[in-house]
Structure 1
Amino acid sequence: MPAARTPSQQPRSAAEVVRLQRTDEQRPASKMLGDELRRQRESRGYTLEQAARVLRASISKVSRVELGVSPAKPRDVHDLADFYRLSREERAEIEQLLAQATQADLYDLYADVTPRYLVRLIRLEQQAKEVCVWDPRVVPGLLQTPAYARAMMEAADLGLSSTEVGRTVDLRLGRQRELNARKPRFEALIDELVLYRLRGSIEDMIEQIDHLLQAPDHYKVRIVSPEAPTSPSPVVHLKLVDGAHQEVAYVENLNSAIYVTKKPGLDRYRQLLTRVRDLAMDRKESIEALKKARKHWESKLAAVSSEH
């Protein structure tokens, strides 16, 4: 465990995270990554020797990584991030630099927590021009907040350690960042009951609903009444820019998934989504449904607060 920090050793706030500047873009990514690792270490008052003990490596190896002379291994970077107790924003910065330094994809950076069946979906998301998700059980992963995603992981009881849960959540957020950067057409169809199913704390539910209300303009979030006769099967439908298949349906089970690429199967899932779309609320009605759910959780929170 890291030594207790003195006030002078406290990490920078999220607002102080150093962002990439135009002049930085011309520098080797490995040097930028090393500089950031050194800055994080020094800001917390740790020595090279302490960092080396975390990695079970020599001081000279850590020094070479910080100087950008030796390539940083993803596992080492993640272990240091845990040791330094980086914030989520600081981790995102490190992951961005690590991806540039290793020219790695998300599923490479998170290989330790990425099921094999999910790798193909991540690749397809990176090629998609349109994504439509129907999930009657939970808020779709590409729209989940960190707290909601963590609550989902813990509720699934998959036997993951706290570190593995955190990295799985970070992978999900990385997929969200890539989607936001590419801006394909994105539509999420969400069963209204999902908004009333507690995941995490009441505050987490309010935060998640606010996140849906503040979705970017190129996102279409539509709520489906629980009284609508919809399919209980979740599905992700992707239209691709190029590749062997122009569209794919992804259907996930507990520990596996199927990828549908043949016309009969695609026709069936297209019809399923068309039916859900026809039954879904329009944009104005969906916003009202989200606000109604938010008021529900606000009243719950107020009731809990009045009891204390």
Structure 2
Amino acid sequence: MAQGRHIPTVASSRLAAELRILRERAGFTWPAVAEEMGWSESKLYRIENDKSRILARDVKRLIKLYEIDDAKAEVLLELARQAREPDWWHRYSGAIPEWFQVYVVLEASASEVREYESELVPGTLQTEAYTRAIMSTAPILDSDEEIEEKIAVRMNRQARLAGEAPLNLWVVLNEAVIRRTVGGPEVMREQLDHLVKLARTRNVTLQVLPFDAGEHAAMLGSFYLMRFPDEGNPDKVYVELQTGGVYSQKTDEVERYSLVFDHLRARALGPEQTVEFIQQVAAELTR
């Protein structure tokens, strides 16, 4: 890991979003704030997008500049303090590409994720054996240590589905995800049983888009939509590529993907039908 590289945290993500919305409410433009603070506009952009760390003393200066009340100022300073504390994924930073660290933080901060998967079970729903099988197909094989770290990251991410404030997850899976036997019949059967178990929890909704649904609105591939509890943190869409990821919070793009997801939900099997379908495919694997 490069010395001094900023690794985002849940707190730093919230702080960045708060500072952005407070600047806008105060009526300041990027150039105006940059001039007042003696910064470049690019530095302010990085701070407001959680790509660069902001010092507590600079948070205090922004509080004064934006004329923030005492109660809100206390929240901001506490976030600045918490942002210095590492989150669980920091110890695995070498195993998580920088572009995906952004997603891990967003997922940890989100209240709801809606996603369409065309090829594989989403990471938050995978069994360890299924994850190992996928990693064994990588064109560039990792060392045993790197594989174990990546598996640990995936298993840690799944903790968001439990606890006092669990992530609300709504997933539409292409039928191919259920039909493709990853890791052999035994591994896939375990994975399908795991999906059925999760589908029966209150915060996970699964739907399968069957082959006989024909053409559909997401034939170009998978995507993720994220919603956050914080007022200053707008909805985001994420599309994963082979060597990176594309993020957007532009209203028109988020709305377009939301519409696509609604179309998929309408074409897919209902949640109860989905459970029955997955159980049927799992039973076929034991014959």
Taking the aligned partners of 1:217 and 1:184, their CA distance within structure 2 comes to 10
Matches within 5 A, 1:23-102: none
Cα shift at 1:243: 6.1
Corresponding residue SS for 2:236: strand
User: RMSD of the TM alignment (CA)?
Assistant: 1.6
Cα shift at 1:126: 1.6
- Tell me which of 222, 229, 250 is aligned to 1:241: 229
| Residue identity opposite 1:165 in structure 2 | I
8 A contact 1:127–1:242 mirrored in 2: no
Matched, 1:139 2:124: no
Taking the aligned partners of 2:141 and 2:232, their CA distance within structure 1 comes to 36
Taking the aligned partners of 1:236 and 1:104, their CA distance within structure 2 comes to 25
What is the TM-score with the length of structure 2 in the denominator? 0.66
| Residue identity opposite 2:181 in structure 1 | L
Taking the aligned partners of 1:165 and 1:194, their CA distance within structure 2 comes to 22
Higher relative contact order (CA 8 A, sep 6+): 2
1:109-152 CA deviation, whole Å, 9 max, x = no partner?
A: 11111011111111111221111111011111110000001111
Q: 1:109 matched to which residue of 2?
A: 91
Taking the aligned partners of 1:284 and 1:126, their CA distance within structure 2 comes to 28
Q: 1:255 matched to which residue of 2?
A: 243
Matches within 5 A, 1:3-22: none
1:171-211 CA deviation, whole Å, 9 max, x = no partner?
A: 01101013323312211111112112121121100100000
Q: 1:264 matched to which residue of 2?
A: 252
Q: 1:195 matched to which residue of 2?
A: 178
Taking the aligned partners of 1:157 and 1:174, their CA distance within structure 2 comes to 25
- Tell me which of 189, 203, 208 is aligned to 2:191: 208
8 A contact 1:126–1:179 mirrored in 2: no
- Tell me which of 279, 284, 287 is aligned to 2:275: 287
- Sort the Cα spacing of 1:131 and 1:178 in 2 relative to 1 into closer, same or farther, 3 A: same
Matched, 1:227 2:215: no
The share of aligned pairs that are identical, in percent, is 25
Corresponding residue SS for 1:220: strand
Cα shift at 1:258: 0.6
Matched, 1:274 2:272: no
Taking the aligned partners of 1:283 and 1:179, their CA distance within structure 2 comes to 18
Cα shift at 1:218: 1.3
Taking the aligned partners of 2:132 and 2:256, their CA distance within structure 1 comes to 33
Runs ≥4 in structure 1, deviation > 6 angstroms?
Answer: none
| Residue identity opposite 1:136 in structure 2 | S
Corresponding residue SS for 1:104: coil
1:83-105 CA deviation, whole Å, 9 max, x = no partner?
A: xxxxxxxxxxxxxxxxxxx9531
Taking the aligned partners of 2:171 and 2:204, their CA distance within structure 1 comes to 8
Aligned residues: 198
Q: 2:203 matched to which residue of 1?
A: 218
Corresponding residue SS for 1:221: strand
Taking the aligned partners of 2:172 and 2:93, their CA distance within structure 1 comes to 29
5+ residue gaps in structure 1? 1-101, 300-308
| Residue identity opposite 2:104 in structure 1 | I
| Residue identity opposite 1:209 in structure 2 | L
1:222-254 CA deviation, whole Å, 9 max, x = no partner?
A: 111023223131011111111643200010001
Q: 2:72 matched to which residue of 1?
A: none
Taking the aligned partners of 2:149 and 2:208, their CA distance within structure 1 comes to 29
- Sort the Cα spacing of 1:163 and 1:174 in 2 relative to 1 into closer, same or farther, 3 A: same
Cα shift at 1:260: 1.2
5+ residue gaps in structure 2? 1-83
8 A contact 2:160–2:167 mirrored in 1: no
1:266-302 CA deviation, whole Å, 9 max, x = no partner?
A: 1221111111111111122101110111011111xxx
What is the TM-score with the length of structure 1 in the denominator? 0.61
**More deviation in 194-203 or 143-152?**
194-203
| Residue identity opposite 1:201 in structure 2 | G
8 A contact 1:245–1:261 mirrored in 2: no
8 A contact 2:161–2:203 mirrored in 1: no
